[in-house]
């Protein structure tokens, strides 16, 4: 892996408005996603939904994400109207959750709205990455992804702080306000991204460069899809990221339950989210910067190898301060992940069709992990307790790290 996505090629000044718009979009996407599920569970409890009804509601939200995930990459590959498509799904996401308090007593309507919002959220990362690639081209993609991920994680932090303050002063229902306002501001920010600033995603180089090698891939999408699974780098990426998410998705909620069990209160629970998200902001910038020098595989491998260490520490201590500190490791791994996935996808599809399609597939792998992981959490904690559950996830994370490090080619260009 050569790490050609260096940040050394300066972006043209006429792109600054579009890049600012893209960064603001990612900020507001972080805001509207950051509060959704944790806040939603509390709201439904206050609305006197039973635990089984809440489980169905959150499962429908996740099912919408999983079902529509493959369509996110397919739609992005088929249409050039990425800004309009992103504006539409942001509108649907915000609409579904904004209307929820009005239909809270009608469970079928509420469940339908949650399914709609979950399906809309499946498009967010794929489309924002597509816009980043279209604005920067391959040479500047690492730097652009680093910026967008920084803004996205900052949105999560803003969401956590702002929603907590609103709920404290105005009550639980006010938690819907950041989602509504953030959706409106995200759509307005999309308007700052100018179509004329986009570059053909099949071009080898980015906008503003005199030399552009226009490689035209005439394969139909069906063949592009089937060719993915003949590529060892892509097979490794999809398998390893799915296992990564199986090991990662349940650990934060499991850690919150464990802290409540050990500490007997909620005082430290907010720090579980804050520490991780605050760490992700500088790490996203760092990961984009060093990938050019170290190579994408090496940087991404660091994220994989931190996950088993984090879970192993959780399994071997009952010290709440140490347990909280493991969220720094989570923040490092997740901050790298958000940047490195897109960089590897851009390398294996460089000059060819399939960037958007493969981004969607990589998100499917994550969504599958998010479904399997919580199921393993319930089985492990229910039968053998917290500490063994952490050991299980440490083992899965170690398997993901081994697969990625051993089977991912060092030079992606030779594996295409």
pLDDT tens digit sequence for 283-303: 999 998 898 788 889 999 999
What range defines the domain where residue 295 resides? 220-416
Q: What is the dihedral of CA 52, 56, 61, 64, to 10 degrees?
A: 160
C-alpha R_g of the chain: 21
Q: How confident is the model over 278-286, as a mean pLDDT?
A: 92
Rounded Cα distance between 49 and 14, Å, is: 52
8 Å CB contact between 361 and 228? yes
32 pLDDT higher than 80: yes
Task: Name the domain boundary from 216, 244, 268.
Answer: 216
> In which band, very low, low, confident or very high, does the pLDDT at 402 lie, cut at 50, 70 and 90?
very high
Q: What are phi and psi of 50, to 5 degrees?
A: -75, 165
Shared-domain flag, residues 251 and 137: no
Of 266, 258, 263, the closest CA to residue 385 belongs to: 258
Q: Is 354 left (phi over 0), alpha (psi -120 to 50) or beta?
A: left
Q: Quick one: pLDDT at residue 267?
A: 58
Shared-domain flag, residues 306 and 337: yes
Helical ranges in 6-123 per DSSP H: 16-34, 36-46, 51-78, 82-99, 107-121
Task: Name the domain boundary from 164, 183, 216.
Answer: 216
Q: How confident is the model over 34-50, as a mean pLDDT?
A: 73
CATH, residue 8? 1.20.1250.20
Shared-domain flag, residues 133 and 20: yes
Shared-domain flag, residues 13 and 138: yes
Rounded Cα distance between 142 and 128, Å, is: 14
Shared-domain flag, residues 240 and 134: no
Residue 12 half-sphere exposure toward CB, CA atoms < 13 A: 14
The partner residues of 203 in beta bridges, in order of sequence, read 214
Shared-domain flag, residues 194 and 265: no
The pTM for the full model equals 0.80
Q: Quick one: pLDDT at residue 382?
A: 60
Helices then strands (H, E): number in the chain?
16, 0
Shared-domain flag, residues 183 and 309: no
Query: Which pLDDT tens digit goes with each residue over 310-343?
Result: 999 999 999 988 999 999 999 999 999 989 998 9
Shared-domain flag, residues 41 and 106: yes
Task: Name the domain boundary from 189, 216, 243.
Answer: 216
Q: Quick one: pLDDT at residue 227?
A: 86
Tokens of 109: 């309507």
205 pLDDT higher than 50: no
> In which band, very low, low, confident or very high, does the pLDDT at 36 lie, cut at 50, 70 and 90?
low
Rounded Cα distance between 167 and 384, Å, is: 36
Q: Quick one: pLDDT at residue 305?
A: 95
Shared-domain flag, residues 146 and 5: yes
Query: Based on the structure, what is the number of domains in the chain?
Result: 2
Query: Which pLDDT tens digit goes with each residue over 232-250?
Result: 999 999 999 989 988 888 7
Cα–Cα distance list, 123 to 87, 118, 322, 370 (Å):
10, 10, 36, 16
Q: What are phi and psi of 10, to 5 degrees?
A: -70, 140
The partner residues of 214 in beta bridges, in order of sequence, read 203
Of 62, 390, 384, 395, the closest CA to residue 252 belongs to: 390
Cα–Cα distance list, 129 to 18, 91, 161, 409 (Å):
14, 19, 26, 23
């Amino acid at each position: 892996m050569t790490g050609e996505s260096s940040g050394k090629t300066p972006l043209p000044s006429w792109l600054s408005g579009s890049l600012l718009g893209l960064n603001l979009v990612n900020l507001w996407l972080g805001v509207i996603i950051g509060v959704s599920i944790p806040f939603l569970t509390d709201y439904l409890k206050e609305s006197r939904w039973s635990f089984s009804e809440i489980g169905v509601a959150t499962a429908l939200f996740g099912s919408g994400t999983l079902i529509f995930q493959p369509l996110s990459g397919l739609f992005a590959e088929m249409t050039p109207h990425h800004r309009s498509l992103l504006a539409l799904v942001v509108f649907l996401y915000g609409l579904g959750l904004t209307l929820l308090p009005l239909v809270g007593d009608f469970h079928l309507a509420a469940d339908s709205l949650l399914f709609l919002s979950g399906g809309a959220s499946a498009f967010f990362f794929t489309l924002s990455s597509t816009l980043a690639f279209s604005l920067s081209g391959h040479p500047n993609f690492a730097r652009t992804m680093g910026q967008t991920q920084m803004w996205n994680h900052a949105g999560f932090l803003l969401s956590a702080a702002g929603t907590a303050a609103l709920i404290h002063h105005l009550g639980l229902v006010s938690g819907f306000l950041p989602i509504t306002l953030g959706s409106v501001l995200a759509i307005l920010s999309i308007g700052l991204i100018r179509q004329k600033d986009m570059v053909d995603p099949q071009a080898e180089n980015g906008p503003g460069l005199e030399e552009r090698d226009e490689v035209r891939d005439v394969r139909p999408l069906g063949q592009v899809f089937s060719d993915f699974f003949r590529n060892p780098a892509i097979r490794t990426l999809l398998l390893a990221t799915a296992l990564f998410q199986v090991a990662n998705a349940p650990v934060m909620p499991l850690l919150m339950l464990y802290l409540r069990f050990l500490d007997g209160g909620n005082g430290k629970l907010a720090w579980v989210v804050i520490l991780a998200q605050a760490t992700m902001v500088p790490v996203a910038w760092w990961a984009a910067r060093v990938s050019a020098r170290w190579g994408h595989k090496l940087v991404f491998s660091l994220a994989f190898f931190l996950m088993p260490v984090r879970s192993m520490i959780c399994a071997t201590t009952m010290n709440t301060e140490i347990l909280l500190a493991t969220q720094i490791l989570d923040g490092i791994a997740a901050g790298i992940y958000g940047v490195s996935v897109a960089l590897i996808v851009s390398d294996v599809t460089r000059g060819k069709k399939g960037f958007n399609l493969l981004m969607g597939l990589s998100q499917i792998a994550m969504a599958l992990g998010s479904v399997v992981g919580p199921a393993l959490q319930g089985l492990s904690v229910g039968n053998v307790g917290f500490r063994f559950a952490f050991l299980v996830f440490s083992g899965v994370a170690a398997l993901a790290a081994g697969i990625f490090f051993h089977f991912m080619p060092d030079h992606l260009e030779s594996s295409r």
